[in-house]
Amino acid sequence: MSLVTIKAQVHADPQTEAVLKDAMFCATKVYNGLLWHLRKEYKETGKVDISRRNLNRILKELPRAKGYYSMSVQLTRDEVREAYRSFFALKKKDLTRHSAPGFRRKGYLSPLKYVQSGFKVEGDKVTVSLGTGREDGVREVSFRISHRPGVQYERVRELSITYDKISGRIEARLVVEVKANPRPGTKRAALDLGETFLMAAAFEDGTVLLYSGRFIKSVRRYWQKVRANLKQNSRRWREVAHREKLQVEHLLHVATSHFIEECVRRGVGEIAIGDLCGIREGIDYGDKLNQRLHAWPYRKLVSMLKYKGALAGIVVRDDVDEKNTSARCHACGRVLPSNRKHRGLYVCSCGWRAQADVNGSLNIFERAYQVSPVKGSSGRVARPVVLSLRLGWHGVHEPERKGKTLRASI
């Protein structure tokens, strides 16, 4: 049994939507209320007490805590504790740079979280409890959800109702139990994620499969240009952002489904992915927000792989330290950033020449499993077999034309 997170759209009538938004607004008020009291205590006593006991005491003074389900209120409380804990941890490391957790903005709608209780999912119908203390007397609401077809699960463990600021829609996140394939493979694979190639996958037999990132890149560029001429956060701007997201997600689904099928065909039981720190390669995305926006397709990609992998009985781990995996020569092990030549070719003075992402994925494989798919026991390096895939519209796979296929060689 594995746990995976799936996202769903919420379809609610306007009245229900208004109640849900109000409950989410209450959650923001509770979050901010707790922060406010903690700051006040800090001013008075010089201490911050984030024990459950103290926070529960403060909760009793917050009228909005009656606006939603009591267990969800406790989960909001835990978000505050978490925010303070990571603040304490950062402060310990570096005294100057970090400020205390900040208030959520007035328009921010906090998630309504449910764990084990307070919700019911029957087919596409969801009912959530809002407690017994609301002023309007509403105790529960029901709505419908929809997610991608073909998603099968046994049971819903957790549910969060969230508000997507960009599209202006209410969404649901479900943590579900899925029955995994009882006979997974035993082979291993490694993935390098990037821009030119969305995924470079190295397999145990020395094959490397490249998934072109061109389409996603052009989709994103196109919509970013359209968005640049619109007023930020206007209705049209959000519509455009939503369209971009749907198109990118479609391409991610096509790529991840193809890759997982390929893994099943090859008997792969474990996939190792480099952590996402190396994703900013080459392009200056400026401020933090831009970097976050830039990284989202990759985070999404990883979560899709985890979900689809879990269904196929494949373990997907994304904890491989990516440091230097792109600058390191897979053949001789030297780390020379200058080896990364233009047009994506990695050339080392030892004689190793490979497409840079092929080199990177082989390095991630070696780092994850302490063995190289192309190095023999004598240390001799064999040439990997490189296959390229273009992912176009409507999920069509076109193999790269002969001669255009990038090959690695030594």
Cα angle, residue 18 at apex, residues 13 and 21 outer, rounded to 5°: 120
Nearer to Zn ion, 189 or 348 (CB): 348
Q: How far is the CB of 192 from Zn ion (least distance, A)?
A: 18
Q: Cα 4 vs. chain centroid, distance in angstroms?
A: 12
Q: How far is the CB of 330 from Zn ion (least distance, A)?
A: 8
Nearer to Zn ion, 299 or 380 (CB): 380
Q: How far is the CB of 381 from Zn ion (least distance, A)?
A: 9
Place of tokens 């519209």: 393
Nearer to Zn ion, 156 or 329 (CB): 329
293 in Cβ contact with 245 (< 8 Å): no
Nearer to Zn ion, 71 or 350 (CB): 350
Q: How far is the CB of 194 from Zn ion (least distance, A)?
A: 21
130 in Cβ contact with 141 (< 8 Å): yes
Q: What angle, rounded to 10 degrees, do the helices at 70-93 and 14-45 form?
A: 40
Nearer to Zn ion, 251 or 354 (CB): 354
Sheet strand arrangement including 385-391: 315-320, 268-274, 187-193, 197-203, 207-212, 385-391, 397-399
Q: How far is the CB of 72 from Zn ion (least distance, A)?
A: 56
355 in Cβ contact with 218 (< 8 Å): no
Nearer to Zn ion, 84 or 352 (CB): 352
58 in Cβ contact with 82 (< 8 Å): no
Q: How far is the CB of 332 from Zn ion (least distance, A)?
A: 3
395 in Cβ contact with 215 (< 8 Å): no
Interacting residues of 330 by C-beta distance below 8 A, sequence separation 6+: 352, 354, 359, 362, 363, 366, 372, 374, 381
> Would you state the structure tokens that stand for residue 107, as one six-digit string?
């328009």
Nearer to Zn ion, 73 or 362 (CB): 362
Interacting residues toward Zn ion by CB under 5 A:
329, 331-332, 348, 350, 352
Q: How far is the CB of 326 from Zn ion (least distance, A)?
A: 14
